[in-house]
Structure 1
């Protein structure tokens, strides 16, 4: 199976609009941060921001053998929602349920970290223990254990410099 991780093109905005509610539905399990409004639309909806073309916004689409498999939203400094002194913030990351536990998330994460070399930060909702374990394992493997396990805004987080991976290899 071939995984591609590429920027979302304008022609793919509708596809991302269809995938994004699945992601918000998954997140709704972990607290009241995301919920349906009176019209059945998930709130808050940050997708318009990501698709706005603003500097530092990198919506990325994952395709497995050409089929949609997930997406990521990567913020690049000067991105307003990240810690100063860091280069990239992985704001959102989603793999379709049917593609999970087959290495798709790991491969997609590695591709993102390789595509955007620099200091990364990512955080997870503290109630989402599966995501915390996933990111610790994936980043640990990617960086051969050389990452900082910390907190951002009171949530579990990881910080690492993907440029140092090349120096370790």
Structure 2
């Protein structure tokens, strides 16, 4: 089964919005900054900016032409400091987790977009922290890690070059 990364078209915004709702639901387990809205959904109000601001690049993760997740990649000129890229949001549907598809997606991204990266996880999200440590180990990536308080929550931030 082949994992591919496909840039999300603006015409596919509603699909990405649906996936973001699932992602935010999962993330709400680990952060005080997310809660369901009155309509029963989690909303990402900044979604439209993905097609308005240069350097915000959403990708669908597909498995044999079926969408199984997404990556939001931050790039220049959106990023202005030391990093060329930042993986802002990364999501795989529960059904496809633990099967190696997420690492395949990250590996494809790193082959396509090489440079200085940063990745951040809320420290309470143990699964995400473990996933990124596995990525660094399996792909033999030397990384530097630090903790920082962001929006009132303790986060791990890793930087590395691919």
Give the TM-score normalised by structure 1. Answer: 0.86
CA drift of 1:54 comes to 1.3
Secondary structure of 1:98's counterpart equals helix
Secondary structure of 2:29's counterpart equals helix
Structure 1: which 5+ residue stretches go unaligned? 163-169
C-alpha RMSD over aligned residues: 1.7
Who is 1:60 aligned against? 59
Secondary structure of 1:111's counterpart equals helix
Q: As a proportion of its length, which structure holds more helix? A: 1
Which residue of 75, 97, 104 corresponds with 1:107? 104
* Contact persistence 1:136–1:158 (CA under 8 A): no
Write the deviation string for residues 87-113 of structure 1: whole angstroms up to 9, x where unpaired: 001000000000001111100111111
Q: Is structure 2 residue 126 aligned with structure 1 residue 129?
A: yes
Give the TM-score normalised by structure 2. Answer: 0.89
Q: Is structure 2 residue 91 aligned with structure 1 residue 91?
A: no
Who is 2:116 aligned against? 119
Structure 2: which 5+ residue stretches go unaligned? none
Structure 1 residues 1-169: aligned runs within 5 Å = 1-50=1-50, 52-80=51-79, 84-142=81-139, 144-152=140-148, 153=150, 154-162=154-162
- Structure-2 separation of matches of 1:145 and 1:19: 29
* Contact persistence 1:60–1:71 (CA under 8 A): yes
